[in-house]
Chain A
């Protein structure tokens, strides 16, 4: 899966869970500050991403995913590892 495909996947998840417009989901955006998500929403996003990308994102790793790019890179690497 390419970074672009993963980014598009996150855009779908963020639209569904938090109503974030797809155009706003760009790599440099911070989940908490720019997209205005909170920690529980991040858990919802992580569990949806686990299902969508067939990866595991434990809480310890989740707290290090600050930006959209962090999440895309994490899924890309986790996907390769799997």
Chain B
């Protein structure tokens, strides 16, 4: 691997949507109950974007925070990738507007629709761009307004989804980072190799049909807790670690029941499990960086810790990688 530089996370940022939708709010207008919702989903509140909180605006805010955390000027960015699957229009793409708002005047910019796995796909491409040398500093943003696509009278869907944005700055490891203490450390210097794949044959399991989100919940649950656990394990293998080496597991925040079942099967015995879904709801591609940002802010993970990011959803797609916390 001589000559190939390592890609690392330099900073993480988040934008929490302004509104809060509680189970009590839902009880008041739908035939459901707090107890029923908690038991099936673990969700207590969802963050809901205000009309003025656009995908671009939330993404730019999360991106600015990630840049500040990394100590990087927007003008230094070579590339901005925006992961989103909830835009109102396919054209124009939104990444150029995020880059423009941030002042990333010298950056390439494009959108990724990888469903709920979009952030992990984008992170993999950002890391590879840095390794290959086509970029030195990349901003990966995931921003979603799921609630624009949820039928507010569909009690099986409205209980699950929320909005928000998360972001990460990816850069090259400082030269010499792979020597000294790092050489004796287990796992990747920064961003580990990605394990990814698709099940396009099962596309109708999660789709927008007749303008609203539709999902076969039992099928997704079974898929996530059986087929996908070996893929998460594969991401650990590619990074040269065991699940028991992980300090944190940050799965796509779909539903607490799925997360807990996956974590049990994975055998990440010493890892803290991200549970951001409880307060934020499922915010598709934004869920992984939002959950990661929260673990960092709360001090539940420390700089240098290893975390497994793993996401899955519409497409169907999945992707995951082990990262070292900046």
* Interface class of chain B by DSSP: helix
Q: Which residues of A contact B225 (CB under 8 A)?
A: 43-44, 47
Query: Which single member of A38, A46, A47 contacts B40 (CB below 8 Å)?
Result: A38
B261 within 8 A of A: yes
- Tell whether, in the assembled complex, residue B39 and residue A38 are in contact, meaning their CB atoms are under 8 Å apart: yes
- Tell whether, in the assembled complex, residue B218 and residue A40 are in contact, meaning their CB atoms are under 8 Å apart: yes
- Tell whether, in the assembled complex, residue A59 and residue B217 are in contact, meaning their CB atoms are under 8 Å apart: no
Tell me the bound Cα distance from A44 to B280 in angstroms: 25
- Chain B contact patch, size range: 10 to 19
- Tell whether, in the assembled complex, residue A40 and residue B257 are in contact, meaning their CB atoms are under 8 Å apart: yes
Tell me the bound Cα distance from A40 to B283 in angstroms: 21
Q: Which residues of B contact A62 (CB under 8 A)?
A: 218
Query: Would you give the shortest CB distance from B215 to chain A, in whole angstroms?
Result: 13
B50 within 8 A of A: no
A20-75 at interface with B (beta carbon < 8 Å): 38-40, 42-44, 46-47, 59, 62
B186 within 8 A of A: no
In this complex, which of A38, A40, A59 has the most chain B Cβ atoms within 10 angstroms of its Cβ? Answer: A40
Query: Would you give the shortest CB distance from B36 to chain A, in whole angstroms?
Result: 9
Number of A-B contacts (CB under 8 A): 26
| 25 contacting pairs across A/B (C-beta < 8 A) | A38-B39, A38-B40, A39-B217, A39-B218, A40-B40, A40-B217, A40-B218, A40-B221, A40-B255, A40-B257, A42-B218, A43-B218, A43-B221, A43-B222, A43-B225, A44-B261, A46-B222, A47-B222, A47-B225, A47-B226, A59-B216, A59-B218, A59-B219, A59-B222, A62-B218
Tell me the bound Cα distance from A59 to B225 in angstroms: 14
Q: Which residues of B contact A40 (CB under 8 A)?
A: 40, 217-218, 221, 255, 257
Q: Which residues of A contact B255 (CB under 8 A)?
A: 40
**Contacts beyond the supplied A38-B40, A40-B255, A43-B225: 20 A-B pairs with Cβ under 8 Å:** A39-B218, A40-B40, A40-B217, A40-B218, A40-B221, A40-B257, A42-B218, A43-B218, A43-B221, A43-B222, A44-B225, A46-B222, A47-B222, A47-B225, A47-B226, A59-B216, A59-B218, A59-B219, A59-B222, A62-B218
Query: Would you give the shortest CB distance from B182 to chain A, in whole angstroms?
Result: 40
Which residue of chain B has its CB nearest to the CB of A50?
B226
In this complex, which of B216, B221, B257, B261 has the most chain A Cβ atoms within 10 angstroms of its Cβ? Answer: B221
Which residue of chain B has its CB nearest to the CB of A46?
B222
